[in-house]
Amino acid sequence: MQYRKLGNTGLNVSEIALGGEWLERKSEAEVFAVVDAARRCGINTLDCFMSEPNVRANLGNAIKGEREKWILQGHLGSAWRNGRYLRVRDVPSVEEAFEDLLTRFHTDYVDLGMIHFVDRLDDWQTVLDSGFIDYMIEQKKLGRVKHIGLSTHSAEIARLAVEHGVVEALLYSVNPGYDLLTELPPPDGGISDPYAPALRGMDPLRDSVYRLCAERGVGINVMKCFGGGRLLDVERSPFGVALTPSQCIHYCLTRPAVASVMLGFETPEQVYDAVRYEDANDDEKDYARVLFDAPRSTYFGHCTYCGHCQPCHKGVDIAMVNKLYDLGIQHSETPATVREHYEALAVHASDCIHCGLCETRCPFHVRVAEHMKTVARYFGK
Ligand code: SF4
Ligand code: SF4
């Protein structure tokens, strides 16, 4: 495993890191097995954005007794309310959820304290105005947050946060789809052609984020390296070609300021598969060759199952519903297991009342309300 400096933080992170998101709903033994595999492979950095108590406790127990060996990236502003994940910005709620994180991890500090998931300008303003940012600074002075970071999918927010000066690291969604496929308006102001034959190159705003971070010594840990698995699948890839995991990882690790790629694993085998990157040769890592002739299409509008749109006040598990639908439509007939999983959900797409609230929280501009109608028609409920 290679290790890299995360900006000016002084932290030496493993270039492949463990993102905990897929460990929700797993047993303690399953979580232990994944953490153990990560440890054996030299992974030393762990992200926990989840507020769900069991996954926090399972991860905390998995690293108990060797806390100092791990770089713990915890999120502030991710809370658990009435059995659901909720983003919070008011200081008492942020504090309560942070205390819970520390308790469940048997620790009194996080190495990286991320201001959780800020994708909108008004939300960033709330972070600044609500006392949240002052709370972060205070926690840093107290040594409970060693370094302040921020997680975002938005290049605009990433820039603002870095320019603000307090943020020392980003957890930022990076992959070639996000960087290369932005809809740029045609020069004549007409309607852009989503099937234009050539890539238009790097999105200038995203490019400026990488450069600003490199200039200011702000390190980037990457999320969404595979775009929710889509980049690995020729049928679903926005490029019309499939990349390999090593090509995706290499793309991310070759962006300026990027130190680490955080990957979600459900099994030890997935950990071992991912770290094959460390032994891949240049040819195996070469993503440019694959993307060169790729047909262009737009990436936004596709669900990556990230769950940021929650909570739905009707109780729809939007990410799961979308995932089951996507799994189903890959086949000429819906596989029985997919249908069974869907039918076992407590709430279905047909329960959606199309309020659109989830859409305001979706970083990928998925038209969830409209999509729920499609899913309900597909599964018949
Ligand atoms: S609809 Fe958007 S926020 Fe919700 S899971 Fe899909 S990509 Fe994530
Ligand atoms: S649009 Fe549907 S899925 Fe989204 S929050 Fe409203 S009820 Fe829930």
Instruction: Return the CATH number at 122.
Output: 3.20.20.100
Q: Is residue 268 part of a domain?
A: yes
Q: What is the pLDDT of residue 129?
A: 96
Burial class (CB in 10 A: 0-12, 13-18, 19+), 190: exposed
- Residue 105, classed as helix, strand or coil, is coil
Q: What is the pLDDT of residue 304?
A: 65
Q: What is the pLDDT of residue 220?
A: 98
Angle at the Cα of 328 (from 323 to 330), degrees rounded to 5?
105
Q: Is residue 305 part of a domain?
A: no
Tokens representing 92? Answer: 């008492």
HEC profile for 182-218?
CCCCCCCCCCCCCCCCCCCCCCHHHHHHHHHHHHHCC
Within 13 Å and on the Cβ side, how many CA atoms surround 264? 19
CA 342 remoteness from chain centre: 24
Residues 96 and 207 in one domain: yes
Residues 238 and 370 in one domain: no
Q: Is residue 307 part of a domain?
A: no
Q: What is the pLDDT of residue 294?
A: 64
Residues 367 and 271 in one domain: no
Which ligand 1 atom sits closest to the C-alpha of 319?
Answer: 5
Q: Is residue 308 part of a domain?
A: no
What residues have CB less than 8 Å from 310, skipping those under 6 apart?
A: 84, 85, 317, 318, 319, 358, 361
What residues have CB less than 8 Å from 143, skipping those under 6 apart?
A: 109
- Residue 251, classed as helix, strand or coil, is helix
Domain end among 291, 306, 336: 291
Residues 220 and 264 in one domain: yes
**Residue nearest atom 6 in ligand 1 by C-alpha distance:** 303
Q: What is the pLDDT of residue 229?
A: 83
Residues 112 and 248 in one domain: yes
Q: 360 lies in which domain range?
A: 318-379
Domain end among 276, 291, 306: 291
Q: How far is the CA of 52 from the centre of ligand 1 (A)?
A: 18
Contact 223, 249 (CB under 8 A): no
Q: What is the pLDDT of residue 139?
A: 98
**Residue nearest atom 7 in ligand 2 by C-alpha distance:** 352
Q: What is the pLDDT of residue 143?
A: 98
Q: Is residue 28 part of a domain?
A: yes
Residues 81 and 159 in one domain: yes
The ligand that comes nearest to the alpha carbon of residue 223 is: 1
Q: What is the pLDDT of residue 236?
A: 81
Tokens representing 201? Answer: 């190159």
Q: Is residue 180 part of a domain?
A: yes
Q: For CA atoms 205, 206, 207, 211, give the dihedral sign.
A: positive
Domain end among 249, 272, 291: 291
CA 73 remoteness from chain centre: 13
Please tell me the pTM assigned to this model. Answer: 0.77
Q: What is the pLDDT of residue 32?
A: 97
Identify the bridge partners of residue 151 per DSSP, sorted by sequence position: 171
Strands (E), the chain: 3-5, 12-14, 16-19, 45-48, 71-76, 78-81, 84-87, 110-115, 145-152, 169-173, 219-223, 258-264
Residues 279 and 362 in one domain: no
Contact 149, 73 (CB under 8 A): yes
Residues 254 and 352 in one domain: no
Question: Which amino acid belongs to residue 98?
Answer: F
Choose among 242, 207, 245: nearest CA to 225.
245
- Which residue has tokens 């060693």? 146
Would you give per-residue pLDDT tens digits along the chain (381 residues)?
A: 999 999 999 999 999 999 998 898 899 999 999 999 999 999 999 999 999 999 999 999 999 999 999 999 999 999 999 888 899 999 999 999 999 999 999 999 999 999 999 998 999 999 999 999 999 999 999 999 999 999 999 999 999 999 999 999 999 999 988 887 544 444 454 444 444 434 455 677 888 899 899 889 999 999 999 987 888 888 888 778 889 999 999 989 988 899 999 999 889 999 999 999 999 998 898 887 777 666 554 445 677 666 778 899 999 999 889 888 877 886 778 888 789 889 999 999 999 999 999 998 886 688 999 999 999 999 999
Ligand 2 contacts CB of residue 352 (under 6 A) = yes
Residues 18 and 165 in one domain: yes
Q: Is residue 299 part of a domain?
A: no
**Residue nearest atom 3 in ligand 2 by C-alpha distance:** 352
Q: How many domains does the chain have?
A: 2
Within 10 Å of residue 305's Cβ, how many Cβ atoms? 17
Ligand 2 contacts CB of residue 358 (under 6 A) = yes
Q: How far is the CA of 54 from the centre of ligand 2 (A)?
A: 26
Choose among 4, 8, 55: nearest CA to 34.
55
Pocket test for ligand 2, best of 316, 348, 361, 370 (most atoms within 8 A of CB): 316
Residues 272 and 323 in one domain: no
**Residue nearest atom 2 in ligand 2 by C-alpha distance:** 352
Residues 216 and 279 in one domain: yes
Residues 101 and 161 in one domain: yes
Question: Where does ligand 1 bind, in terms of residues with CB under 6 Å?
Answer: 303-309, 318-319, 322, 362, 364, 366, 368
Q: What is the pLDDT of residue 192?
A: 43
Q: Is residue 301 part of a domain?
A: no
Within 10 Å of residue 289's Cβ, how many Cβ atoms? 9
Q: What is the pLDDT of residue 369?
A: 95
